[in-house]
Amino acid sequence: MFNRYSLYCLTIASLLFSAHLSAAAVDADTEWQFLDNNLPPEIEAEIARHETGAVAVGTDIYLIGGRRNRPTLKYDSVAKEWTNLGLLPSNSDSIELHHFQPVAIGTNIYVLGSLFGGSFPDELSDPNIRVLDTLTNTWSIVGQMPAERLRGSASAVVRDDIIYLVGGNTQGHNGGFVPWMDSYNPSTGEWIILPDAPNARDHFSAAIINNKLIAAAGRQSISGPNNALFNSTIAATDVYDFDTGQWSSGADIVTERAGAMVASAGQELLVAGGEIGASETALLTVEAYDVVNDSWRPLHNVNIGRHSGGGVVIGTQWHVFSGSTTRGGGVSSETSLHETLELDVPPDSDNDGLTDLDETNVHGTDPSNSDSDDDNLFDGPEVNVYETNPLSDDSDGDGLKDGEEVFTWGSDPNVVDTDGDRLNDGDEVSEFLTSPTKADTDDDNLDDSAEIVAGTDPNDPDTDGDGLLDGDDPSPLVSASSEGSEGEGGEANEGGESNETNERTAVLENDSGGATALWLLALLGCTLVVRSRLNLS
């Protein structure tokens, strides 16, 4: 259960984590640089496209889809060369696919939540989940989106091999914008509906930073007069916390825009270019959102305004290419120009708060997996906040995963017995059903372990129902109705207690002023005897 204590701990942890994050940030004065690729005319013509998608696999960039039927291109960032990989296939023929954000899992690229066809403003949503195997350069369809969640112009991100699809439009460009969020597990095919975002939006790209999904910019597309389509931009920034499963609102973006290129660097979301109703040309503006400090700041403008192009980070460089230089776009405004920004921020490929270099050389964690030990705590917070072992899912060996201790129970993932009641946290949760953060779960003035030794119920303050708290009751296992019953020797009397038990109880009851104290002393002695059985230290 997620309680106030857990929320408090999470808030403090987030603040602490911010203090440990790298101070490195993109220099606002760093200028963008054009790449001179000496492109063959046929390649240059294919790079020039808009409403396209791009994603990195290793040091390669893949440019997919766009208005009109466009081939998939691969850019080798080491050799600085583009290669035409051919048209995107459908079931039997090629297809015009656009308005999507592709994601990569290993060497596979997934495309879902896209529009297809050219019937503006009522384009259809593509129901298919498409995969490009970059090792064989072959496309396949591995499933379909649920009909009731079908939309295009949605944003997709990947976290721990699960794809998250946010926002989108069910009617192309004509009023079907939605706030939906879903997850899709490519390994199992499972599709899960998650809480709606605070704002519906399309024509945007999302990113994950510090285990938070950031949805910024975009618009609510609806066709109409007086540039209605381009004037419906969104100022709000929506933030989804994977730890709590809850959405919150961040600071509004300074420059509203749709169709911007997006990247992450350190603890910032970077937003470049885009289109708005008030400008016939695409924007030059670049802004950065600090997830920790909830603030926006300007960065250096791009060299050429564009929207709906590709934006991909390789190493410490942000590559921006393709797109349209004018609002709306068309063949004559599509550009092949390719520019880069040096981020000067050590790469963190899995966005877990640890640089790839530190993961490999210092901690031994997986730089491509944000949660190396699968304990529901990101590697960065494990190292910098909770001081747990990012390679062990149960750092204190108490039977509870570290993430479960932090976010479900509020117990200490580094302490076997958080509440000091001589029961380990795992046993409290799974065996005794007591609280691992409260030594006396039922508030009856007896610690949980003392109750277990005595045979009373640690979840019931009055085990025998006689109106006295177990800790104040000289005979907490004997109800008032059974007191005074008679019987012979060790035989059970009518109350179910043996005469021998009643005689021992009578000794305590007749000890005026010290009955409760003697009872507790007896419990303490019993506790010492059975410590080994309970595995306590």
In order, the DSSP letters of 427-486 are HIIIII---TT-SSTT-SSS-HHHHHHHT--TT-S-TT-SSS-GGG-SSTTS-GGGTT--
Domain segments of the chain as ranges: 1-14+353-415, 23-342, 420-537
Phi-psi region of 314 (alpha: psi -120 to 50; beta: other; left: phi over 0): beta
Query: What is the sign, positive or negative, of the torsion defined by CA atoms of 264, 267, 272, 277?
Result: positive
What string of pLDDT tens digits covers the 537 residues of the chain? Answer: 434 444 444 444 444 444 444 456 899 999 999 997 688 999 999 999 999 999 999 999 999 999 988 899 999 999 999 999 987 665 445 678 999 999 999 999 999 999 998 788 999 999 999 999 999 999 999 999 999 999 999 999 999 899 999 999 999 999 999 999 999 999 999 999 999 999 999 999 999 998 899 999 999 999 888 788 999 999 999 999 998 999 999 999 999 999 999 999 989 999 999 999 999 999 999 999 999 999 999 999 999 999 999 999 998 999 999 999 999 988 899 999 999 999 988 888 888 888 888 898 889 999 888 899 999 999 988 998 899 999 999 999 999 999 999 999 999 999 999 999 999 999 999 999 999 999 999 999 999 999 999 999 999 999 999 999 999 999 988 876 655 554 444 444 444 444 444 443 443 344 334 444 444 544 444 444 444 444 444
Q: What are phi and psi of 218, to 5 degrees?
A: 90, -175
User: What are the residues whose beta carbons fall under 8 Å from the beta carbon of 8, sequence distance 6 or more?
Assistant: none
Amino acid letter, residue 117: G
- CB of 238 closer than 8 Å to CB of 197: yes
Contact (Cβ atoms closer than 8 angstroms) between residue 249 and residue 234: no
Report the alpha-carbon distance of residue 404 to residue 437 in Å, rounded: 13
Compute the distance between CA of residue 86 and CA of residue 104 in angstroms, rounded to an integer.
19
Please give the model's pTM, rounded to 2 decimal places: 0.74
In 153-233, which residue ranges form alpha helices assigned H by DSSP?
none
Instruction: Give the Cα separation of 148 and 170 in Å (integer).
Output: 10
- Give the separation between CA 143 and CA 189, rounded to whole angstroms: 7
By CB atoms closer than 10 A (0-12, 13-18, 19+), residue 19 is exposed
CB 60 within 8 A of CB 27: no
Q: How far apart are CA 219 and CA 102, in angstroms?
A: 19
Does 23-342 carry CATH code 3.30.70.260? no
Residues ≥6 apart with Cβ < 8 Å to 118? 67, 68, 96
Radius of gyration from C-alpha coordinates of the chain: 31
Q: Decide: residue 491, CB within 10 A, 0-12 exposed, 13-18 middle, 19+ buried.
A: exposed
Beta bridge partners of 34: 339
Q: Which two tokens stand for residue 352?
A: 């877990």
